[in-house]
Structure 1
Amino acid sequence: MKARPIPPFVPEEHIEIGNRMRDMRASLMLVVRRMLLGSPIHDDALAAIMALDRVRTHLDCDLHMLVRASRDPRQMVSKVYSGTDNLVWRDYSMEEIVTDDFAVWGLAR
């Protein structure tokens, strides 16, 4: 039997990456809105957003393959790379750790 490869990132690392990508996309959108349409900076920022979105899509697929639905009772996996709210540490119980891969994480409000 072939051993399952070790995933490149664990869920906590995906959350860190997702939060940073969300912040970067917002910063790049500001550049796109402020720069003259068709200027090199505008075009580069737009290209960076498109590349960032492609990477985010690939990582989102990887995360969905990594986390079993039974280990995600609050359906947090769909919020790691989507939406506008970052994920932050939250209060949790030790019982949650046993059943929830995202027990220590919640949406920032």
Structure 2
Amino acid sequence: MARSGFLYTDPNWVEQVVQATGGGVDVVISGTGANVAEALGCLEPGGRIAVFGSSAGRTATFEVPSLYFGLFAISGTTLGSPTDFGQMLQFVEKHQIRPVIDSTWADQSRIQAEASPEARKPPG
């Protein structure tokens, strides 16, 4: 289960991941694409990266030995077909699955909300 999320646009995100986890993670799920090299730095030995998008760019460059010395795996996924998505929506509706919303903020309060200590705590 994910306990935290990290913003890839923060220049220190890899260090934040390593520090928050005490050494790295088993899996990185990335919609950014181009930051595969940085994502490799977040992994524990034998870790995996699943890439489902390329919002940060279509090309990634990294040192190939880091893959085999780290025993890492990189895989790509589309996260399912349009049919899969439709079935997921039907499942959510049928079982009345609703997200947990901890709090809401007006648009102009977004910066204040993100700075709030509560913003860093998962609900529940």
Q: Which has the higher contact order (CA 8 A, sep 6+)?
A: 1
Normalized against structure 2, the TM-score is what? Answer: 0.21
More helix by share: 1
